Amino acid sequence: MTDLSSTPAVPAPVIHRADYRPPEWLVPEIALDFALSLTATHVRADLEVQRVGTASGPLRLDGDGIAAKSVLIDGTAHNDWYMDGDSLIIDLPGERHTVTIETEINPAANTQLSGLYASGGMLCTQCEAEGFRRITFFPDRPDVLSRYTVRMTGEKAAFPVLLSNGNPVASGDNADGTHWAEWHDPWPKPSYLFALVAGDLVASRDSFTTRSGRRVDLAIYVRAGDETRTGHAMKALIDSMRWDEDVYGREYDLDLFNIVAVADFNAGAMENKGLNVFNTRYILADPETATDGDYDAIEGVVAHEYFHNWSGNRVTCRDWFQLSLKEGFTVLRDQQFSADMGSAPVKRIEDVRILRAAQFPEDSGPLAHPIRPDAYQEISNFYTATVYNKGAEVIRMMTVLAGPERFRRGTDLYFDRHDGEAATCEDFVRAIEDGAELDLGQFRRWYEQAGTPRVTATLTHAGDTATLVLSQTVPATPGQPDKQPMVIPLRTALFDRATGQHRGEQLLVLTEPEQTFTFPGFTAPPVLSINRGFSAPVAIDLPMETADLVFLAAHDDDPFARYEAMQQLMVRHLVAAVSGDLPDEARGEGLAAIRDVYASVLADAALDDLMRGELLILPGEGYIAEQLAQADPSRIHAEREALKRWLGSQLAGPWQALHDRCTAVPYSLEAAARGARKLKTQALVYLAASDPVEAARRAKAQYDAADNMTDRQGALMVLAGIGTAECDEARRAALADFHARFAGNALVIDKWFSIQASALHPDTLAHVTALAAHPDFTLTNPNRVRALYMAFAANPQAFHAADGAGYRMIADLILKLDPINGNVAARFVPPLGRWRRIEPTRAALMRAELERIAAAPGLSRDVREQVSKSLE
């Protein structure tokens, strides 16, 4: 399609938070009338516009790639309007008017999947952040809230189901084979929450009765044949509705709640009022096709979107700089929900691992931004781990400072004060301050300053007193060379070596550049356990004896701290090894300590298997790289593999016994069975490093016997990573079987692509090149693109190939994908943007690829912003 929006000749303007101005015109009511067609949908929009106060400006309506076919003012044709770039400007006298605008759009040509688009014969919308302006002209900003009435007419055969936000009002058949439906949403909302779906869909139904007795009809709409795979999502929805009443006092506010699953979707899911639209991967599951991880992700995302009904929809954002107001808070809420539904300690460890893998690199790279950014060119680029996950951590710190009851008083006040409004992060902070009676003055810096704070802890002991000196620095980030000290709440305990116990946890709140805390009553030096539960999203520098880390790995009663002690033990060893800083003797001692801790975790009868599985995960290569000023990815990979091989061979017996024990556990969704599945594949991973032939034999047996996707995918992942020639036949056979077995199931074929792209196999680059030419591969489906290329970009050995072929592959992808879907293409820039933190030879290759992209004509605003920031 010819897209008017995607080729700005000049760099896009920078939008600044400080430039916010309230709207001059509001739109209290809007009526939309759609004549639906895959290639030519006609849209008529009636806007009731109303001047605000004494504002004197003209009416400015945003557009993007659309043209007005006609403009009427109060029912009369009107020619006195003009375009200013993509905006439609009307000089309107007076206070109130009805503005009627007709547009026509081609959903089938909308490969960006923003606005109204086609997916497998159905029509659906995605309007966050700025997609509504691709449908009709409108003040497309979240502080303009309107009541929507939506009428749709379309062929009954092609679009038997017609959905929009709110409640169905009326529907009927026309004589010409079309039918129509009208929906009304009583809740005023910003345009980004508008949604429409038309297609041949079937519904799985259930209901939920709210605590005040409102019966809510629930439906999940999917393609025929998929309705058998919606049960887990439905359960998650019902659990979420109940949980939000119990924990946050939030009740649902419409008589129906609809979810639609679509196969072509840029993100995970979207919280449109009363009509959530989901990527199929976060809805469809059954044991044969979905892993335990998929089940958890579905539960979390269904909850996340449901929770947005209050944190996002009832209270929305004033402008897009406030994105973390809804996203940070809603991520925290979905994390708390998942913790309550399953194992809280395991969930916490997983969330910290995600933060460290995805957000810490943002904070230390060229795209670093505060959770409330100050400027952007393309808002789509700010749907980041910083805004989402660090945003959640910042609010989590408020819960640590206030305690749960006072925090709840704060959120009650927030919802009460701002219900129906478009609010700011500052509004949220003030409500927590007032409701929880907490001074968050200095704490606000978490909204202002980018970068992961570093806390250095030094513990000394003299007489009967232990003294802890804590100091903090916040690293410089682009545009923020100088930083102020943060408020850092650190849950801390001091352990007696003799008893293996501590005397109660304390909350130390670091507010100054340096502070000293004293602890009397210790006749011997205690062992420090700090940032327990990961109470603050910071990095801790703590010179610690190996023996003390081993002690905490064995004794710490805080599960996160225990995990962290093991991670530290391994990170320190690997960083020293990679830096060439590890004499043979120290290497031997380090390895032995790690092996012994692993052995005790393997043998610890008090641990449940899900937690055991967390403790036995090696630190990621990216996280190790984060510890180094300039990383050599091949050395990190080699050292980490060497550690894995050592653990595999030293503990070969226990790994095999573990694999046997877990293999005997029958499939169920209970925690014990899930834990067994997690460990089963982990055992294979360690064995594969030391004894690939034995591991391949076991993996093949696991694959052949699998009655669920967790076992099957785990076994295939292990087989796909074995490069040993004598195992190659088993590897090929399993991959071929997997493809044949699940042909036609897009979500499982995605797994087939990503397993190969993330494989440890030495030929992964060649495999990915071949897979890009496979008939099942397409650049138009974001899930498929991510399955192949995100997995590849996250595979350090393949992506960081010494000759730069991995970098070239990703740059080629960006250039090819950008004209199709700039939003998804831009997501591939950050892996290349990390060049400053990589050793010089590779850094030059990465930079060269960024320069090649920058030199290409007609880049999307999305890619241009990310690439130019990465080169600055």
Residues marked active site are found at: 305
Q: Is 411 helix (H, G, I), strand (E, B) or coil?
A: helix
Stretch 288-327: interaction string toward ligand PHE, x if CB under 6 A: ----------------xx--x------------------x
Q: How many residues bind Zn ion (CB under 5 A)?
A: 2
Q: How far is residue 596's CA from residue 728's CA, in Å, rounded to a whole number?
A: 33
| Rounded least distance, CB 308 to ligand PHE, Å | 6
Helix or strand holding residue 257 (H, E): strand 256-262
Q: How far is residue 688's CA from residue 175's CA, in Å, rounded to a whole number?
A: 66
270 vs 425 by CB, closer to ligand PHE:
270
Say whether residue 128 binds ligand PHE (CB under 6 A): yes
Q: How far is residue 440's CA from residue 442's CA, in Å, rounded to a whole number?
A: 6
Q: How far is residue 216's CA from residue 50's CA, in Å, rounded to a whole number?
A: 34
Say whether residue 626 binds ligand PHE (CB under 6 A): no
Q: Which does 126 bind (CB under 5 to 8 A by kind): ligand PHE, Zn ion, none?
A: ligand PHE
Residues in the chain: 872
Q: Which stretch binds Zn ion (CB under 5 A): 50-58, 149-157, 329-337, 740-748?
A: 329-337
271 vs 865 by CB, closer to ligand PHE:
271
Cβ atoms of residues 826 and 863 within 8 Å: yes
| Rounded least distance, CB 274 to ligand PHE, Å | 15
Say whether residue 862 binds ligand PHE (CB under 6 A): no
* Cα within 13 Å of Cα(511), Cβ side: 9
Beta pairing class for 15-16 and 96-105: unpaired
| Rounded least distance, CB 497 to ligand PHE, Å | 46
DSSP string, 760-823: --TTHHHHHHHHHTSTT--SS-HHHHIIIIIHHHT-HHHHT-TTSHHHHHHHHHHHHHTTT-HH
Q: Could you identify the residue written with the tokens 């991959």?
A: 735
Say whether residue 32 binds ligand PHE (CB under 6 A): no
Position 484: which residue type? Answer: Q
Say whether residue 226 binds ligand PHE (CB under 6 A): no
Q: How far is residue 107's CA from residue 89's CA, in Å, rounded to a whole number?
A: 25
Q: Which residues pair with 189 in a beta bridge?
A: 146
Say whether residue 62 binds ligand PHE (CB under 6 A): no
313 vs 795 by CB, closer to Zn ion:
313
Say whether residue 333 binds ligand PHE (CB under 6 A): no
126 vs 702 by CB, closer to ligand PHE:
126
300 vs 345 by CB, closer to Zn ion:
300
| Rounded least distance, CB 277 to ligand PHE, Å | 8
Choose among 417, 357, 428: nearest CA to 395: 428
201 vs 241 by CB, closer to Zn ion:
241
Q: How far is residue 271's CA from residue 302's CA, in Å, rounded to a whole number?
A: 9
112 vs 164 by CB, closer to ligand PHE:
112
Q: Which does 270 bind (CB under 5 to 8 A by kind): ligand PHE, Zn ion, none?
A: ligand PHE
Say whether residue 269 binds ligand PHE (CB under 6 A): yes
| Rounded least distance, CB 308 to Zn ion, Å | 6
Q: Which stretch binds ligand PHE (CB under 6 A): 268-276, 513-521, 531-539, 786-794?
A: 268-276
Say whether residue 363 binds ligand PHE (CB under 6 A): no
Q: Which does 267 bind (CB under 5 to 8 A by kind): Zn ion, ligand PHE, none?
A: ligand PHE
Say whether residue 260 binds ligand PHE (CB under 6 A): no
Cβ atoms of residues 716 and 684 within 8 Å: no
Closest residue to bound ligand PHE by CB:
267
100 vs 823 by CB, closer to ligand PHE:
823
Position 265: which residue type? Answer: F
| Rounded least distance, CB 163 to ligand PHE, Å | 17
| Rounded least distance, CB 535 to Zn ion, Å | 24
Say whether residue 427 binds ligand PHE (CB under 6 A): no
Q: How far is residue 469's CA from residue 232's CA, in Å, rounded to a whole number?
A: 49
Q: How far is residue 308's CA from residue 195's CA, in Å, rounded to a whole number?
A: 15
Q: Which stretch binds Zn ion (CB under 5 A): 69-77, 322-330, 342-350, 576-584?
A: 322-330
> Which long-range CB contacts under 8 A does 539-547 form with residues at least 24 apart?
539/360, 539/452, 539/453, 539/454, 539/455, 540/454, 540/455, 540/456, 540/457, 541/454, 541/455, 541/456, 541/457, 542/456, 542/457, 542/568, 543/458, 544/568, 546/572, 546/589, 546/590, 546/593
Q: How many residues bind ligand PHE (CB under 6 A)?
A: 12
327 vs 378 by CB, closer to Zn ion:
327
361 — phi, psi (to 5°)? Answer: -65, -30
Say whether residue 383 binds ligand PHE (CB under 6 A): yes
DSSP string, 680-723: HHHHHHHHHHH-HHHHHHHHHHHHHH-SSHHHHHHHHHHHHH--
DSSP string, 617-679: PPPPHHHHHHTSSSB-HHHHHHHHHHHHHHHHHHTHHHHHHHHHHHHTSPP-SSHHHHHHHHH
| Rounded least distance, CB 456 to ligand PHE, Å | 35
Say whether residue 270 binds ligand PHE (CB under 6 A): yes
Q: How far is residue 309's CA from residue 297's CA, in Å, rounded to a whole number?
A: 19
301 vs 685 by CB, closer to ligand PHE:
301
| Rounded least distance, CB 385 to Zn ion, Å | 13
Position 365: which residue type? Answer: G
Say if residue 203 is preceded by a cis peptide, omega within 30 of 0. no
Q: Which stretch binds Zn ion (CB under 5 A): 327-335, 367-375, 490-498, 664-672?
A: 327-335
| Rounded least distance, CB 806 to ligand PHE, Å | 28
Residue 741 CB neighbours (<10 A): 12
Q: How far is residue 566's CA from residue 548's CA, in Å, rounded to a whole number?
A: 11
Say whether residue 621 binds ligand PHE (CB under 6 A): no
Position 411: which residue type? Answer: T
Q: Which stretch binds ligand PHE (CB under 6 A): 239-247, 262-270, 661-669, 749-757?
A: 262-270
Query: Using the 8-state DSSP alphabet, how is residue 502 labeled?
Result: B
317 vs 853 by CB, closer to ligand PHE:
317
Say whether residue 271 binds ligand PHE (CB under 6 A): yes
Cβ atoms of residues 832 and 807 within 8 Å: yes
Here the tokens at position 856 are 């290409």
Choose among 714, 722, 716, 717: nearest CA to 678: 714
457 — phi, psi (to 5°)? Answer: -115, 130
| Rounded least distance, CB 114 to Zn ion, Å | 16
Say whether residue 378 binds ligand PHE (CB under 6 A): no
Q: Which does 567 bind (CB under 5 to 8 A by kind): Zn ion, ligand PHE, none?
A: none
651 — phi, psi (to 5°)? Answer: -115, 30
Q: Which stretch binds ligand PHE (CB under 6 A): 264-272, 339-347, 480-488, 798-806?
A: 264-272
Query: Using the 8-state DSSP alphabet, how is residue 838 labeled?
Result: B
331 vs 662 by CB, closer to ligand PHE:
331
Position 785: which residue type? Answer: V
Q: Which does 103 bind (CB under 5 to 8 A by kind): Zn ion, ligand PHE, none?
A: none
Q: How far is residue 369's CA from residue 372's CA, in Å, rounded to a whole number?
A: 8
Q: Could you identify the residue written with the tokens 């502070």?
A: 515
Say whether residue 218 binds ligand PHE (CB under 6 A): no
Q: Which stretch binds Zn ion (CB under 5 A): 91-99, 328-336, 483-491, 558-566?
A: 328-336
| Rounded least distance, CB 325 to Zn ion, Å | 11
| Rounded least distance, CB 553 to Zn ion, Å | 35
Which of residues 100, 126, 449, 650 is near ligand PHE by CB under 6 A? Answer: 126
Beta pairing class for 196-199 and 161-164: antiparallel
61 vs 392 by CB, closer to Zn ion:
392
The residues binding ligand PHE (CB under 6 A) are 126, 128, 266-267, 269-271, 304-305, 308, 327, 383
The residues binding Zn ion (CB under 5 A) are 327, 330
